[in-house]
């Protein structure tokens, strides 16, 4: 009963995230500014899927069962309402009930959901906090050390989530936090929580999908660098030496992970449509951190920043999520006409090509290219939503 309940609400989180993905692209096409669209893309799309799959996967990675099966049911409306409230506040919707703004209410709701998430998973693994028990089967015995290493970084993921979630709440209460709200906080969540969790889960999940094993030295490079870098970026955002060192570490982490993905992609004899999205996402990740390093070493340029954001949030995190989604919910199992691997591959090509066009347009300051890229990404998001949504409806 517990596993069925968790699985059902995990799918609900993913479905919500897919909806936010489409809304994010619609808002961008409509010309809504980046400070507002980040709430649809990061808080709405990325984290809805992250929360849903983490509830389903992390307990088993610690050889446990989720302690409170209905926690995702409680968390989902808090996360969804929070992202919507934050977006409403950012676009200037009139004040919320009483003296509170929609932005503050959204931040409070989203952070409350984070407390549910961390509290539930923390209680689930309370007697295995280091992750020494990994749930690794005998057939995967050779992967146990990597599984343990990955588990050990989950507390850092939780810490970044709570820090990034509470800062907007403190701002709404008039309390000065140690880190500014805005891009520094976004990096705590995007790089510290989402990206680090991609590394942690990726080193456990992708080897099973590809039937390969990551190179241990790459795992040893990526995880520590990926855990330290976001804090350095946030505490000295666009500052001096600390920020530059953080940028270098993030480049090492993302590039190391991308090399791992490429290596597994090359060695696997399995052909799954989702692999192509994960590989494309890894390439976008290299481009994104390369642009970030340029900003850290050379200086801020608007086009470079915009390209970095789209390649990082949409290209790296977005395409990785799309690829993993297609692994868990294979398009080939669909019975509806048009729902198959070919349509999934089209969605991946549209998304990867669209994000690439956007980046080129921003870097070359050619607005028409950026606009075309935005519409191509929107088409890709709609294709992705069609495939995943149809599969969910067929399995309802």
Question: With bands split at pLDDT 50, 70 and 90, how would you rate the model's confidence at 313?
Answer: very high
**CA quadruple 227, 54, 195, 232: dihedral sign:** negative
With contact defined as beta carbons under 8 Å apart, do 361 and 388 qualify? no
Q: What would the two tokens of residue 142 be?
A: 């050779």
What would the mean pLDDT of 13-22 be, rounded to a whole number?
98
Query: What are the phi and psi torsion angles at 12 (to 5°)?
Result: -65, -40
pLDDT (average), residues 251-277: 95
The more confident residue out of 2 and 83 is 83
CA distances 367 to 41, 299, 352, 358, 362, Å, are 21, 22, 19, 9, 7
Closest C-alpha among 87, 59, 55, 94 to residue 72: 55
Confidence check: pLDDT of 1 > 60: no
Q: Phi, psi at residue 170, to the nearest 5°?
A: -60, -40
**Given a cut of 60, is residue 245 above it in pLDDT?**
yes
**Selection from 165, 217, 222 nearest residue 197 by Cα:** 222
Q: What is the mean pLDDT of the chain?
A: 94
Predicted TM-score of the model (pTM): 0.95
- What are the DSSP calls for 177-226, one per residue? PSS-TTHHHHHIIIIIIIIHHHHHHHHHHHHHHHT----HHHHHHHHHHH
pLDDT value for 181: 92
User: Residue 22 has what pLDDT?
Assistant: 98
Contact of 140 with 208, CB cutoff 8 Å: yes
Residue whose tokens read 């984290």: 47
**Residue 177 CB: number of other CB atoms within 10 A?**
16
Are 167 and 185 contacting, i.e. CB atoms less than 8 angstroms apart? yes
Q: What is the arithmetic mean of pLDDT over 284-295? A: 97
End-to-end Cα separation, the chain, in angstroms: 16
SS3 of residue 73 by DSSP: helix
Instruction: Please count the other Cβ atoms lying within 10 Å of the Cβ belonging to residue 197.
Output: 26
Q: How far apart are CA 117 and CA 82, in angstroms?
A: 14
Rg (CA), the chain: 20
Reduced to 3 states (helix: H, G, I; strand: E, B; else coil), residue 240 is coil
């Amino acid at each position: 009963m517990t596993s069925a309940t968790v699985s059902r609400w995990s799918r609900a989180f993913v479905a919500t995230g897919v909806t936010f993905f489409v809304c994010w692209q619609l808002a961008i096409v409509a010309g809504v500014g980046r400070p507002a669209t980040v709430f649809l893309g990061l808080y709405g799309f990325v984290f809805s899927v992250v929360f849903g799959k983490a509830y389903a996967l992390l307990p088993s990675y610690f050889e446990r069962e989720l302690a409170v099966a209905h926690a995702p049911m409680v968390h989902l409306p808090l996360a969804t309402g929070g992202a919507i409230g934050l977006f409403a506040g950012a676009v200037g919707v009139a004040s919320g009930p009483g003296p509170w703004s929609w932005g503050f209410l959204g931040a409070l709701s989203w952070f409350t959901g984070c407390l549910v998430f961390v509290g539930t998973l923390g209680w689930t693994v309370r007697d295995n906090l280091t992750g020494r028990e990994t749930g690794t089967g005998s057939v995967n015995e050779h992967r146990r050390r990597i599984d343990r290493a990955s588990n050990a970084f989950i507390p850092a993921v939780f810490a970044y989530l709570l820090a990034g979630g509470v800062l907007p709440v403190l701002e709404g209460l008039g309390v000065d936090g140690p880190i500014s709200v805005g891009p520094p906080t976004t990096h705590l969540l995007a790089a510290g929580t989402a990206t680090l969790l991609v590394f942690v889960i990726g080193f456990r999940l992708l080897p099973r999908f590809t039937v390969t094993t990551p190179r241990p030295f790459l795992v040893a490079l990526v995880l520590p660098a990926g855990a330290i870098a976001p804090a350095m970026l946030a505490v000295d955002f666009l500052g001096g030496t600390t920020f530059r060192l953080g940028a270098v570490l993030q480049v090492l982490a993302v590039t190391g992970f991308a090399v791992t993905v490429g290596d597994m992609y090359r060695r696997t004899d399995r052909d799954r449509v989702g692999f192509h999205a994960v590989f494309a996402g890894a390439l976008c990740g290299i481009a994104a951190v390369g642009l970030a390093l340029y900003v850290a070493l050379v200086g801020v340029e608007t086009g470079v920043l915009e390209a970095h954001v789209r390649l990082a949030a949409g290209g790296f995190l977005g395409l990785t999520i799309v690829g993993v989604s297609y692994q868990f919910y294979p398009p080939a199992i669909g019975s509806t006409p048009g729902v198959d691997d070919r349509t999934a591959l089209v969605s991946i090509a549209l998304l990867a090509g669209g994000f690439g066009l956007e980046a080129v347009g921003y870097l070359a300051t050619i607005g028409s290219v950026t606009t075309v890229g935005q519409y191509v990404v929107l088409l890709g998001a709609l294709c992705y939503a069609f495939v995943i949504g149809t599969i969910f409806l067929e399995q309802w």
